[in-house]
Amino acid sequence: MNFLTALAAIGGDSLLSTIILIVIIVVVLIVIFSFVPIGLWISALAAGAKVGIFDLIGMRLRRVAPAKIVNPLIKAEKAGLAVPVSKLEAHYLAGGNVDRVIDALIAAERANIPLTFERAAAIDLAGRNVLEAVQMSVNPKVIETPVVAAMAIDGIELRAKAKVTVRANIDRLVGGAGEETIIARVGEGIVTTVGSSQTHKDVLENPDRISKTVLGKGLDAGTAFEILSIDIADVDVGRNIGAQLQTDQAEADKRIAQAKAEERRAMAVAREQEMLAAVQEMRAKVVEAEAEVPKAMAEAFRNGNLGVMDYYNMMNVASDTKMRESISDLGTPSAAKDNPDQHK
């Protein structure tokens, strides 16, 4: 009985140990499969890409997403491109888009465009879409400028819109100017061409003058593009700016003349008021002088210098003078009678 009990105890310990061992193995396998991308390694092995299991583990340790490296590597291997895994990892750690760089290299290789991985990576890190640049090198892009207003010498405004066909220049993508520069330079060329024309009719008759002038300036210098053609899509006649400027100038001259005339009128009114004040002042002096006459006559009577007959003779002369003035006023208009100073 004791023997059977001991045997059962030994059998129970073995079963528990087996279960614990199985659990440990399962946990280890889960950790390995979660840390090591076995699926990616098998895919790379099947595609012939040279990446080992320890390389994938190293990517995990370096905090590199293995799928971001392995999938582009498989794509490059199938396209016949030899790209080391270390360069792909370095570009990913630098913040680049590995998948887009590989797609650009494949597209360039198919189109016989010389493009190395280093240049493609530099273009991608510069913030430009390297795949779009390669596609634009194969299929040129048309840039449509906004409506540009310019004035000819005769004062007529023209509104022109151009379409610029450009092709990406791979060698100048890093450090080259973008589409905004192309649009600005084309607009400048339109303004220069129209502004140097004697009449707006010359431009309307030969719109290709604008294209020739703009192309002759070498507008693609220092840009990331090569200009293939510049086509004038539309030319419309705008306002008569010359006549409008003349009208505005005439209106300004009119206002200046009115201001000067108002200034002169104000000065004349002020002068008139000054003269009226001077007249009143002179009349006051005359009244003051006339007030001294009776005093002088009284003084002459007292001193014996003026007699009674002399006084009567003087009064007779004054009466005759007043009578003559009354007779002479009979033939003058009423306005003159009302204003004796004006009549005089």
Per-residue pLDDT tens digits for 148-170: 888 887 778 888 888 888 888 77
Q: Is residue 262 part of a domain?
A: no
> What distance in Å separates the CA atoms of residue 265 and residue 257, rounded to the nearest whole number?
12
Per-residue pLDDT tens digits for 223-243: 878 888 787 877 777 676 666
Q: Is residue 48 part of a domain?
A: yes
Among 222, 243, 264, the domain boundary falls at: 243
Residue 191 sits in a domain whose CATH number is 3.30.479.30
Whether 228 and 339 map to the same domain: the answer is: no
Contacts of 259 (CB under 8 A, 6+ apart): none
Q: How many separate domains does the chain show?
A: 3
The residue length of the chain stands at 344
Q: Is residue 273 part of a domain?
A: no
Contacts of 223 (CB under 8 A, 6+ apart): 169, 172, 176, 177, 178, 181, 182
The more confidently predicted of residues 36 and 296 is 296
Q: Is residue 38 part of a domain?
A: yes
Tell me: pLDDT of 180 over 70: yes
Whether 82 and 34 map to the same domain: the answer is: yes
Give the confidence band of 6 by pLDDT, cuts at 50, 70, 90: very low
> What are 291's two structure tokens?
């007030």
Among 138, 161, 186, the domain boundary falls at: 138
Phi, psi of 331 (to 5 degrees): -95, 5
Q: Is residue 30 part of a domain?
A: yes
Per-residue pLDDT tens digits for 249-295: 888 888 898 898 888 888 988 888 888 888 888 888 888 887 887 78
> What are 189's two structure tokens?
């060329």
> What distance in Å separates the CA atoms of residue 97 and residue 115, rounded to the nearest whole number?
16
Whether 16 and 117 map to the same domain: the answer is: yes
> What distance in Å separates the CA atoms of residue 271 and residue 267, rounded to the nearest whole number?
6
Enclosing domain of residue 221? 141-243
* 3 state SS of 151: strand
Whether 129 and 17 map to the same domain: the answer is: yes
